[in-house]
Structure 1
Amino acid sequence: MKKSPQDTAEAEKIRLDKWLWQARFFKTRGLAAGTVKGGHVRVNGNRAAKAAQTVGAGDVLTFAQGRVIRVVRIIAPGIRRGPAPEAQALYDDLTPAPEPTDETFVSANPKYEGKGRPTKRDRRMMDLIQPGALE
């Protein structure tokens, strides 16, 4: 039986939720399907409405993973959910690098330069140094 070009094109396509699961972006296929159904995944800039939408090589996916917005280009459809190196070969990560944060705004806690826990006198001095302490 001879395969038609249409059958070959369909063989290179895979369900969106299945691909997200095989590429190890989601722990279960159900989580991937729920994210797609919730409208949180975009395929080539268009919101994916169904988890059964087919994707293939060259498609660009945009979705949230934790606190990071991921942008990936599909290189190949997966055959199975294999180990991480195999899953990373399925896509090209286009996610921009995170912006560097200023270290002064990272921690709101006061810094104590001495050793050990500050004494009551040290804490009072730190309170006086902080702006707006007596206002």
Structure 2
Amino acid sequence: MTAKDQTAPGSEGQRLDKWLWAARFFKTRPLAVEAINGGKVHVDGQRVKPGRTVRPGTRLTIHKGQLEWEIEVKAVSKQRRPASEAALLFTEDEASRLRRQEIVQQRRAEAPIKRSERGRPTKRDRRRLEELTGR
């Protein structure tokens, strides 16, 4: 990130909804606002409004579905950047990361195995069926 796009630690803050969008936790700002208003995002352990200012050092807890992130804001960005740069805006607690990885692995293990359905039988398949059934 360039110095123009990212503010240095200890400087000005940014709206929570805009920061969540820039850090790529939510695809759009309205989705971030909806999550904040729904109590899915907490700042320093308290429920907040979308306009709350976050600064470097602020601790966030974000719930999305079954997953939960416990992070600390490292920087704010004036615009949404690629995911590799967005990952530099925060650090995640090690315990939080391990819990998330465990949940993801558990969900993958429980996922149903897909059957390979091919749709309608082809002409060749129909002819083989006719041979078997004697039609």
* 1:59-98 equivalences in 2 (<5 Å): 59-94=58-93, 95-98=96-99
The match for 2:54 is 55
* 1:1-135 equivalences in 2 (<5 Å): 12-48=12-48, 50-94=49-93, 95-98=96-99, 99=102, 106=110
Kindly name which structure, 1 or 2, has the bigger radius of gyration based on alpha carbons.
Answer: 1
- Classify 1:33/1:106 alpha carbon distance in 2 versus 1 (closer, same or farther; 3 Å): closer
- Pairs aligned (count): 98
Do the aligned partners of 2:22 and 2:80 also contact (CA within 8 Å) in 1? yes
Do the aligned partners of 2:16 and 2:51 also contact (CA within 8 Å) in 1? yes
Higher helix content, 1 or 2: 2
Task: Provide the C-alpha distance between the structure 1 equivalents of 2:32 and 2:112, rounded to a whole number of angstroms.
Answer: 36
Q: Quote the RMSD (CA, aligned, Å).
A: 2.6
Gaps in structure 1 of 5+ consecutive residues: 1-8, 110-135
Gaps in structure 2 of 5+ consecutive residues: 1-8, 114-135
Q: How far did 1:39 drift?
A: 1.7
Task: Provide the C-alpha distance between the structure 2 equivalents of 1:107 and 1:36, rounded to a whole number of angstroms.
Answer: 30
Bigger relative contact order, structure 1 or 2 (CA pairs below 8 A, ≥6 apart)? 2
Do the aligned partners of 2:40 and 2:64 also contact (CA within 8 Å) in 1? no
The percent of aligned pairs where both chains have the same amino acid is 39
Do the aligned partners of 2:15 and 2:53 also contact (CA within 8 Å) in 1? yes
TM-score (norm 2): 0.63
